[in-house]
Structures are given as structure tokens and as C-alpha cells.
């Protein structure tokens, strides 16, 4: 009888620990969500900038660490990207503004609203 009781208690303990683990994994921490949203926005801006400018350049470098991100709220972001670019061996450092927003909460659907060069 004691063995059966120990077996049932260990079984109950196993399910309670598993339940706590699953409930914690379902919970989204807002600070980590915003951090990942910002990193994801920068990566999307970098990829979009490279896709747009690659056909017109001989050298193109878009560093993520040089991007300035502004969170406009509700999943909207404005990103200023410094781009090192060369047209026929004439190097320049240009600034582009990329506006984008998320259409979902899972960060999979992104819409690029604007892409423009900032004149100095």
C-alpha cells in the first residue's frame, strides 16, 4: 500500500511540475518581447535596405549596431540606418530612414511603410 501511495504522489508531483513549466512557457514577458521586436525590426530593416540598394552599388555595408531605432508604439518603428555605399569606387556614408510595422503579435508579418534617403 505504501508503494502505491508513493507512486501516486510522485505521479502527482510530476504532473504539477510539468503544469508549472507549461504555464511559464505560455507567459510572454513584455520586456523580452519588446527587445526581440526591436532586434527583429533592425534585422528586417537591414535586409530590406540591402535588397533595395544592392543592384546600384559596388560596395554596400549596413551595420545593425549603427542603426537608431525609435519605437512609435503599437508595433510601429522608425529606423535610421547609416549605410556605407560605393558607386563606381566613390565611397559615401548615407543615412536612410525605414518605417515599418508589425501586423501580428508573433512578429512574422511585417510591412515596410517607408524607405527614404535623408539628405544632410
Domain boundaries, the chain: 30-118
pLDDT at 10: 82
d(CA 48, CA 51): 5
Tens digits of residue pLDDT in 62-81:
999 999 999 898 889 999 99
- Residues 31-35 have a mean pLDDT of 58
Q: Determine whether domain 30-118 maps to CATH 1.10.3720.10.
A: no
CA torsion 81-85-90-95 (nearest 10°) is -10
Tell me: pLDDT of 91 over 70. Answer: yes
Cell of 90: 566613390
pLDDT band at 32 (very low <50, low <70, confident <90, very high): low
Q: With left for phi above 0 and alpha for psi between -120 and 50, is residue 6 left, alpha or beta?
A: alpha
The pTM assigned to this predicted structure is: 0.68
Query: What is residue 21's predicted lDDT score, i.e. its pLDDT?
Result: 64
pLDDT at 52: 92
Amino acid at each position: 500500500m505504501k508503494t502505491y501511495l508513493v507512486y501516486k504522489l510522485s505521479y502527482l508531483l510530476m504532473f504539477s511540475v510539468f503544469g508549472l513549466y507549461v504555464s511559464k512557457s505560455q507567459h510572454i514577458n513584455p520586456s523580452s518581447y519588446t527587445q526581440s521586436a526591436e532586434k527583429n525590426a533592425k534585422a528586417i530593416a537591414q535586409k530590406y535596405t540591402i535588397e533595395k540598394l544592392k543592384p546600384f552599388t559596388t560596395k554596400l555595408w549596413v551595420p545593425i549596431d549603427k542603426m537608431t531605432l525609435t519605437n512609435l508604439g503599437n508595433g510601429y518603428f522608425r529606423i535610421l540606418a547609416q549605410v556605407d555605399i560605393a558607386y563606381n569606387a566613390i565611397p559615401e556614408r548615407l543615412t536612410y530612414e525605414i518605417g515599418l510595422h508589425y501586423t501580428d503579435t508573433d512578429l512574422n508579418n511585417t510591412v515596410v511603410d517607408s524607405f527614404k534617403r535623408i539628405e544632410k
